[in-house]
Each structure stands twice: as C-alpha cells, then as structure tokens.
Structure 1
C-alpha cells in the first residue's frame, strides 16, 4: 500500500527542484519558510487521520493561552466562537471553529483536511490560519478574526443605510479577484465561491474562506465531483451537469458573486427555485 506523504516531504522535494541542492540540510522550519516565500504549488491533503496529523505538525498549537468567548455562528462542522490567543507575549483576537461532539470519522477527516488546505495559502485576500488544536477535548481550528462578518450580511447592511460607495463595491470585486487569481495560480479550485464564503474585516478587507468543498486541479485541468451538495445558482453548467470543476467554473461563480456585490446582497435568480434555474438556463 502506498504511504501518503507528509508536508515536509512535499516541501523538501520542492526545495530540491528550486534550489538544485539534492541533499538539503535545511531544518523543517526553514523548508516551511521556503515554501511560503517561493509560492509552492497546492498539494492534496491525506485521506487518513494518522497521515493528516503528520501533515499538520507545523500548524499544531497548544491550548494554553487560548480563551474562548461568545459564539459567532454555526458552520458545517460545528460552532464558531470568538477567542483570544496569547502567543509570544501578544494577545490576538481570533475565530475558533470547533468540531462538533459526536462527529463521524468522515466529518473529522474533512475538518482536518480543511486545515491542511488553509495552511498552504498566504495571501492578503485569503483567510489566515493560526493553528489547530488536536490534543484538546475538541479539535479546533484557530483563524484570524474578521470583525465585519461574511460579505453577504455586510452587503445587506448597506440596504439598511450603512454607508457605502461604488468605489468600495469595486474594491470588493478586485480584492476577491486577486485572492482567486492567487489560488488558481497554485492549481486550486474553490468550488463554492459566493458572498456567504467571503469574510470582511473592520477595514473593509475581503478574504476568501470556507474551503470545505475545495479540491485541487488535476492534470486534466478539472475535477470530477463524487457528489455532495452543489450551490446550483452559483455553479457553472459543466460543473452542475457533468460534475467537472475547473478555474473556469470558479470564474463563473465569481461572475455570480459580482452580481451579489452590485445588487447589495440580492440572491441570484431570486424569483426562481434551483430546479427552475437548472432546467430553464442550463
């Protein structure tokens, strides 16, 4: 049986190819820094929990110094709470995603896979992973706190009188396009790009989040889905009917997202059901 490779293995191989040094003596920490600085291509997380934990070695943090407070909302895997993380003499406000008690093994693996995916990205318009707690009572993902909430709710607040300008809406489009160009350049497909999955800071900075449906680009430049929930009104026809995902299908979703932005949060095809959209237009 083929053993799944660790993050260290991927980074080491990439270091060798880029540097030409076939016997690198760099430490694991040095290799991780190298991978970030040189924009290493995306690689798929493992599918076995034991191997996932090896891949998460760099991101594992201690529960010491992490304090949880109010609930921010509920996600696919469990609750999301506000927290304060004390590290290096500094206190950071964070958001903490907690895996629900009693989650199935499949959900647990998907939860850990999302951490491996997030940890590979470093871009001002992609959500930042701080770390993961594996040894606590509940598995937790610690990410930066985006005080503006999700973009959909943020846009809807403009309808209620919150100040906004056309320049601000255009800035949202540009920021998200920049983050998606970065992800595409790493050979990565998001598959669920929508305003609900974009987070906003108190400074109106947009960051792409929610990688639960994400997959890597294959050699054929598309991903054939194995099923699951599909956001019909945001999904390109070839993905909806043939389960083929690519950078192009993400671009389609970005077009729908721009409609959400310029309509201040209106639902696409808002007078139609998913089935009506599917049959009439696709």
Structure 2
C-alpha cells in the first residue's frame, strides 16, 4: 500500500540567521498488476531517491546509494558507490549495466540516484517533509549535530538544513534553517558568509557552528528502502510461501509472519473458507493495491486459486499499535511521540479521503507499527469506494460498535465523517496506552447492525466529563483530561507520560 503528501508544516517557521552580523521470478504465476496502467503519483515520502532515467539521455548514468545483493536469477548485485548505466526502465525494476564489472541485470530503482546530482550525497534527502526530517533525525543512531539538507516545503527550488539539537528542558529536538540562494547561484544561511555550493556550506558548518545550534557532525542515518515487489507477481503460487509464525486472528481468518521464496519476510492474512466470495475478496485486494502511500500497509500479492485464500502484505515488525502500546517499549513513550503516531495515522487517512474511500474499521488494532516506529493503516476489509458520498452497509454486516459513529449505527450509512469519529476514539486508545474505550459497555467488540442502536452509550454532560475518574468516583466511563492538561500547562514539552500518570 502506498501514500499522500501530508499538509505542509506551518506551525513553527524555519530559523534564519540573516539578521546576524522487468523483474521476473522463476516460480510466480504472472498476471496483470491492477495498478500497471495507473497514473498514480508515487507519494511515498520515504522513497527518497527515485529518479527518472530517461530525462534527456537514452541511457542514464546512476550511482548506487546502498549495497544490493541479488536474490533472483537476472538480478544485478552492486555495492554502494558503484556507477551503473540504465539500459531500460521497467516500473520499479530497471535493466542496468555495472560500468565497473560490465555485468548486466535488474536493479531496484529506489537504490540508485542520477549521477552528478545532490541525491548522491549522503546528507541530501530529496522529498522529505519537515516533520519526516524530525522523525529521521530523532531516530536511534543519530546524535547531536546529525543533520540533513532537504527540499524546502515553503519555497520551491530552495533548501532547508535540519539539525539535531539537545535542550536541557525539552530533551532532543530538531532545529531548521532556511538556505537562501543568491542571484549568481550561491547559497547562504547567514548573509555575512556565502558559499558557491551546498557541499561548501556543509563543510564550513562541519568545522564550526558559526551561529547554528550545533556544529554539524554526521549526516542523518538513511534507512535502506524496502525493495520493490517483483514486477507483475500478483497471483503467486502457494508453495512460494512458508508460514513461520502465527501473529493473530482477524475478521477474515489468521495473520502469519511468512517468508516468500526463501528470501523476503512478509505478512500473510488468510481468509476463512466461506467468509466471502473470491470475487469479493479480490475486490478488497484490488482496492488495497491501488492505495499507495507510506502510511498505508502495502499489498504485495494474493493466492486465490484455492482456499484458504491468502493476501500478502509488507511485514510490520512491532505488530498492531494496540499491542505495541501495552509493551514495555510502548509504555515508555512520551506524549510527543504519541502525538506523532496520531499525526502519521492522520496523514494516511487524509490520503484515503483524497481518493474518495472510507475505511469503516479504523482503530488501534488495525494500525501496524514498523521497526522504526512508523505507523501504517491496515485492514481494509470493510473499505469500499464511496458512491453518492456515502456507503450503506448491507444487512447483517458486522462492525466495531465502540468505534462507529452514531449516525452510522442508527442508519447503516457511512461517510468520510464516520472515519473522523473513529479517529477520535483511536486518539483515546493512543493517549491511554491501549485502554478499551467505554469500559464496561459492549464487552463484545463487534455486533450486528440491527442490535447497535440500543448499545450506543449516552453522551456525557460537561460536568460529567470534568468530574469523571476522580479518586471519589473511580472507574467511571470517561477519561478525565483535566489532570493531564494541567500538567501540560506546566511542562508542554517532554512530558514523561506513562500509564501511571493517567487518572
């Protein structure tokens, strides 16, 4: 699954010092990829270095950004820094020749960058937003002074410098600086010193801070991108999958960690026989395949020739957000990170809305977390394209009562606004580290539509909200935000929020 450009950050302006003085598998059965004729833009903000090889030259020269060890017949292995010639562009896999060894084969397009461009520099991150820059720099492995240069979100054709800093009261933070351009093509952050190139600018601030929050140390660690899925490997043979570990069960069956063709770790969702028709299942899969965003779990392939049917997606190492928040690692997360999780989910949902879809089952159990703490929206089993601005559920359908908007429960009609309601309940799950919403009500998570109206909890009064969960009134229905808000007014940043801080 793949994602939309998030809203440009405008809450805190960047600092300026201007006032200072055709890949193929041997075993797969190839059928047409549902997105092969799509004109969708690649909206993955984490695919930092995807390029077009055919701009002006019949054969483009590229530089390898990462090591790649071929895993299929026909792959071309290479090392970081190798120079390659692109022979033919074919989707996400390109045919190339290594200019050092003379060998030819297929390479993943997101592992290379066009020669003699900024993308070949370790410190340049193309297409990364301000918020994603902060996520990268605050990730483990980076330290004070770690930095990156990225495209400016506010001024097209300009750049920004992002630097990891440390504040005794706020902890680790990221500072942003505008890199301004001169009419003659030069660059500067402070007008008292200018540079002919970005490389010269970086080298200067690596020697001395000269007004920055920190002297530049090392470039931000760049995670090796996920290899593209095999071209046209949509319907794959069941024998190519080895189910390694059962991860859980869902509406359609079980979820497994599996290995594809002995080399690629994936997640496999099985469908219980008789749950729905193959045609309906493929409808779901085709919807998932067309939704490409870095905050949505990506669908790779399906197995539908016989039951149980498999749906193969990218593997998310830390499992569901609901389970992760209850682990020791999740319990230690501070409020800013929980807010960041919520922002990531909002990015994915904004993309779904932009594509005129609804999710209908948005909750923490259907958000998956990666090894690098990236949240992605999963389980589109109830998602359907909207017709006439709403989707009316079929009679007898089941859905999560505690996350469903009252108008959807009463009338069985769902809109984008229904997902907004569910997102609000998800926020409650996140801020309370996975607590069940409306405790004591509706112990069963899913109910037939016909039974739902009688299960809607009454809306609380303002007084009830303010007095709920006090020591004198423990275990009441609603979470009382007042103690937390009072604490936030004293310490708005770096609050060591954990379950024992909650009322």
Which residue number in structure 2 is paired with residue 111 of structure 1?
A: 281
Would you say 1:201 and 2:370 are equivalent positions? Answer: yes
Q: TM-score, normalised by structure 2?
A: 0.42
Aligned-CA RMSD value: 2.8
Contact 1:77 1:107 in 2 (8 A): no
SS in 1 for 2:265: strand
Report deviation, 1:178.
0.3
Whichever structure has more helix as a proportion of its residues is: 1
| Aligned 1:143-222 pairs, distance under 5 A | 143-158=313-328, 162-219=331-388, 221-222=389-390
Which residue number in structure 2 is paired with residue 92 of structure 1?
A: 264
Are the structure 2 counterparts of residues 226 and 181 from structure 1 closer, same or farther at C-alpha, using a change threshold of 3 Å?
Answer: same
Which residue number in structure 2 is paired with residue 23 of structure 1?
A: none
SS in 1 for 2:316: coil
Aligned equivalents of 1:236 and 1:242: distance in 2?
10
Aligned equivalents of 2:368 and 2:459: distance in 1?
30
Contact 2:42 2:292 in 1 (8 A): no
Aligned equivalents of 1:163 and 1:126: distance in 2?
25
Contact 1:193 1:250 in 2 (8 A): yes
Q: TM-score, normalised by structure 1?
A: 0.73
Which residue number in structure 2 is paired with residue 233 of structure 1?
A: 402
Aligned equivalents of 1:161 and 1:131: distance in 2?
31
Of the three residues 448, 456, 461, the one matched with 1:278 is 456
Contact 1:131 1:141 in 2 (8 A): yes
Are the structure 2 counterparts of residues 246 and 137 from structure 1 closer, same or farther at C-alpha, using a change threshold of 3 Å?
Answer: closer
Unaligned runs of 5+ in 2: 1-31, 44-231, 444-451, 461-503
Aligned equivalents of 1:58 and 1:184: distance in 2?
28
Are the structure 2 counterparts of residues 111 and 137 from structure 1 closer, same or farther at C-alpha, using a change threshold of 3 Å?
Answer: closer
Contact 1:233 1:268 in 2 (8 A): yes
Aligned equivalents of 2:364 and 2:282: distance in 1?
24
Would you say 1:250 and 2:425 are equivalent positions? Answer: no
Report deviation, 1:279.
5.1
Aligned equivalents of 1:261 and 1:31: distance in 2?
34
- Larger radius of gyration between Structure 1 and Structure 2: 2
Contact 2:35 2:290 in 1 (8 A): no
Of the three residues 37, 40, 63, the one matched with 1:36 is 40
Would you say 1:127 and 2:297 are equivalent positions? Answer: yes
Contact 2:257 2:267 in 1 (8 A): yes
Aligned equivalents of 1:151 and 1:107: distance in 2?
30
Q: Report runs of 4+ in structure 1 exceeding 6 Å deviation.
A: 28-31
Contact 1:65 1:86 in 2 (8 A): yes
